[in-house]
Chain A
Amino acid sequence: SQKIEQNSEALNIQEGKTATLTCNYTNYSPAYLQWYRQDPGRGPVFLLLIRENEKEKRKERLKVTFDTTLKQSLFHITASQPADSATYLCALEGGMDTGRRALTFGSGTRLQVQP
């Protein structure tokens, strides 16, 4: 069955360091992969999208890589700040239970940046 896996344990890092979050998937052949940020009690916020023919995408302090052979995406936040503390969700379009357009999300990784 199709599955998206993110590290369920919280990631704790010091301010100024680079945070790296992992998203692994199985039994998908996605055209693209998306990353969202979610703060407690709020809806997810779209951050970045990377397509299958792109190896890397950057936006300000964010960088995403996409390896379709390994079926893995890495999400990096450089020069992290306490305000980056949130849960980060990886999402793929489509799935056996969702159909073509809807997103299937991983369970998210909580990032805590210590000042």
Chain B
Amino acid sequence: DTGVSQDPRHKITKRGQNVTFRCDPISEHNRLYWYRQTLGQGPEFLTYFQNEAQLEKSRLLSDRFSAERPKGSFSTLEIQRTEQGDSAMYLCASSPKGQGHPEQYFGPGTRLTVT
């Protein structure tokens, strides 16, 4: 396994359109996270899955954002009615099961530009 992968790497869309991103975590990792990062800032948490269950969601997350992990493997993040403020790098991360492994392994990110 070569690590966390994300697709696409870049997405340009017009304001008001819907976009969907995909994340494939490291295969034996049961925890999956989505973050958003803008220039000069650290990643900002969006949502977290353990297996297929979405256990945590940022209180700051707009209801235009939705995420799924239907079979506990890959995950998708959808943004509806995109706005220019949604332009950012969207990062996916995964971590192994167990209390002793809190470190997270990040993918390369999907850069979204909303015009």
Binary per-residue interface labels of chain B (33-44) against chain A in the complex, 1 for a CB within 8 Å, 0 otherwise:
101000011111
Contacts of B106 in A (CB 8 A): 36, 43-45
Binary per-residue interface labels of chain A (36-52) against chain B in the complex, 1 for a CB within 8 Å, 0 otherwise:
10000111111001000
Known interface pairs A43-B91, A43-B107, A44-B106. Does A107 touch B42 (Cβ–Cβ under 8 Å)? yes
| Pair A98/B56 contact, Cβ less than 8 Å | yes
Known interface pairs A42-B108, A97-B59, A102-B33. Does A89 touch B42 (Cβ–Cβ under 8 Å)? yes
Q: How far is the CA of A90 from the CA of B35 in the complex (A)?
A: 15
| Pair A105/B56 contact, Cβ less than 8 Å | no
Q: How far is the CA of A46 from the CA of B33 in the complex (A)?
A: 15
Report if A104 contacts B (CB, 8 A). yes
Contacts of B56 in A (CB 8 A): 98-102
Q: How far is the CA of A105 from the CA of B41 in the complex (A)?
A: 9
| Pair B109/A93 contact, Cβ less than 8 Å | no
Report if A24 contacts B (CB, 8 A). no
Contacts of B105 in A (CB 8 A): 46
Report if A34 contacts B (CB, 8 A). yes
| Pair A103/B43 contact, Cβ less than 8 Å | yes
| Pair A46/B103 contact, Cβ less than 8 Å | yes
Contacts of A32 in B (CB 8 A): 102
Question: What are some 25 contacts across the A-B interface (CB < 8 A)?
Answer: A4-B42, A41-B109, A42-B108, A43-B91, A43-B108, A44-B43, A44-B91, A45-B106, A46-B104, A46-B105, A49-B102, A93-B102, A95-B45, A97-B58, A97-B59, A100-B56, A101-B50, A102-B45, A102-B56, A103-B104, A105-B44, A107-B40, A107-B41, A108-B41, A108-B42
Residues of A within 8 A of B (CB): 4, 8, 32, 34, 36, 41-46, 49, 89, 91, 93, 95-108
The 6 closest A-B pairs by CB, nearest first: A105-B42, A43-B106, A99-B56, A102-B45, A98-B45, A46-B103
